[in-house]
Structure 1
Amino acid sequence: MAADPQEMLDAFFGDFYLRVYGSRQAGDEARDQASAAARLAGCPEGGALLDVACGFGRHAVPLAAAGFRVTGVDRSATLLDEARRRAGDASPTFVAADYRELPFADASFDAAINLYTSIGFLGDEEDTKVLAEVARVLRPGGRLVVESMHRDLMIRIFQERGWRLLGAGRLLLEQRAFDPVTGVVQETQTLIGSDGARESQAFSTRVYTATELMAMLRAAGFDKVTAYGDLDGAPFDVGTRLVLVARTPV
């Protein structure tokens, strides 16, 4: 029998994810990305900002340190525990929840961010539910910033296999299959320890085109969507990442 997709995601976004990605996008890089996203979202100084999904807090923590009232949401208790550890003197609020059912009242936040390809894991219909939930908890005129891989860029850079050195003698083997018609990437990541021990996790991602994701945002209740090529507002192109800024009706 095929593994349950949600079980596969829960297994990937836990301790395994921390060991692979915990040292990436840390420090100044994460702070700069977070600050740029908050500016693009138009979040006012000291405003209420939702980071969904927040993972281990790489963006939520520097945003809270910058004075925003940050709430980070993630399904993974393991990642949230790490986010709280990293927060230190910063004061984000971290909430365990499935982002299809956000435990907040309507119009609770000034802005929201969804960064580092944190959508595409649930299928078109369920991903649209995620976006609709974010729209529901944003105030009128509030903006969501989505930063993601997109299909056209994936076609240009796709590799079936890649190796990365993670430090301390550890290697990561990434094996992928990509269907450019459906936009689905099937990936298995294998972490190889310094002692040769191997651990693998598999997952799939729906890599949307800009057109598809813009249509989903409008179907979710946003009335204006603008595409950029990065968090600093550069023009979008097939060779850039995809950044969408979506506004709720005023």
Structure 2
Amino acid sequence: MSRGTSTTDVWDAFFSDFYLRAYASEERDAAAEAQALAAARLSGCPEGGELLDVPCGFGRHCVPLARAGYRVTGVDRSGALLDEARRRAAGERWPKFSQADYRELPFGDASFDAALNLFTSLGYLGDEEDAKVLAEIRRVLRPGGKLVLETMHRDHMVRTWSDNGWRLMGEGRVLLEQRTFDPAEGVAQTTQTLVEPDGTRESRTWSARVYAATELVALARAAGFAEVKCWGGFEYEPLSVGTRLMLVARS
């Protein structure tokens, strides 16, 4: 069931030039690189191993992972984001990129040593479709390979909730947010308005599923993962209402 999450048309409009202008500031690249390397370590991917970054967005994680020696493949549905990822990769042999919906990955079974799903990149399509995503990732992992999924979880979001907020996004842009949350359905609706330095505004509204840790563990197990553990950080910190969620699932 979708539980009121947005359609693919809404997400395609969001993960576009709008998303790039909002999030592609290089001011946050150093933190993203550190998180990506920590996630790869948590996944147990061997040095020089085959690593899947899905979805990879504009390459903030997969490009530094490739520079660190991993043979990274980045997958994303958005052509606009992949174009920026290729620009950042600057023609290097790795990472490779593939444009695809992550419910139907264009790879054979057991193609990767590990997989990463970072920066709250699940919950867009509802429980059933998200389960398909996890099952596809498990399919392309080699036996014993791990998925590291880093996301917001419901208890943390409730603790830190505010109806409105704003952030400076680099190059003089401001991102305004108006939010509502249905705790029974576990669905958050967000309207983001990007204010350019010249004062022009553009808005996108979307709804996403925010899972409790127990719900996400159940989804991963239903997708066929043999072992699922949750942490509150990349260094095995305990999960709590004050942390984000690191789910580590072994195929």
Equivalent of 1:130, from 122, 133, 141?
133
What value does the CA root-mean-square deviation take over the aligned residues? 1.6
- Once the two structures are TM-superposed, the CA of residue 63 in structure 1 deviates from its matched residue by 0.5
What is the rounded CA distance, in whole Å, between the counterparts of 1:226 and 1:174 in structure 2? 32
State the secondary structure of the residue aligned to 2:241.
coil
- Once the two structures are TM-superposed, the CA of residue 169 in structure 1 deviates from its matched residue by 3.3
What is the rounded CA distance, in whole Å, between the counterparts of 2:197 and 2:136 in structure 1? 43
Identity %, equivalent residues: 65
Matches within 5 A, 1:102-181: 102-181=105-184
8 A Cα contact 2:5 2:187, kept in partner: no
1:232–1:89 distance in 2 versus 1, CA, 3 Å: farther
Worse overlay, 233-242 or 127-136: 233-242
- The match for 2:77 is 75
- Once the two structures are TM-superposed, the CA of residue 3 in structure 1 deviates from its matched residue by 11
More RCO (CA 8 Å, sep 6+) = 2
Unaligned runs of at least 5 residues, structure 1:
none
Q: Deviations over 1:41-63 (max 9, x none)?
A: 00001000000000001110011
8 A Cα contact 1:26 1:58, kept in partner: no
> Is 1:58 matched up with 2:86?
no
- Once the two structures are TM-superposed, the CA of residue 24 in structure 1 deviates from its matched residue by 5.9
- Once the two structures are TM-superposed, the CA of residue 195 in structure 1 deviates from its matched residue by 2.1
Equivalent of 2:245, from 234, 242, 245?
242
- The match for 1:182 is 185
In the comparison of the two structures, how many residue pairs are matched? 247
State the secondary structure of the residue aligned to 2:102.
coil
What is the rounded CA distance, in whole Å, between the counterparts of 1:124 and 1:3 in structure 2? 9
State the secondary structure of the residue aligned to 1:200.
strand
- Once the two structures are TM-superposed, the CA of residue 202 in structure 1 deviates from its matched residue by 1.0
- Once the two structures are TM-superposed, the CA of residue 239 in structure 1 deviates from its matched residue by 1.1
What is the rounded CA distance, in whole Å, between the counterparts of 2:250 and 2:23 in structure 1? 30
- Once the two structures are TM-superposed, the CA of residue 198 in structure 1 deviates from its matched residue by 1.0
What is the rounded CA distance, in whole Å, between the counterparts of 2:33 and 2:246 in structure 1? 17
State the secondary structure of the residue aligned to 2:131.
helix
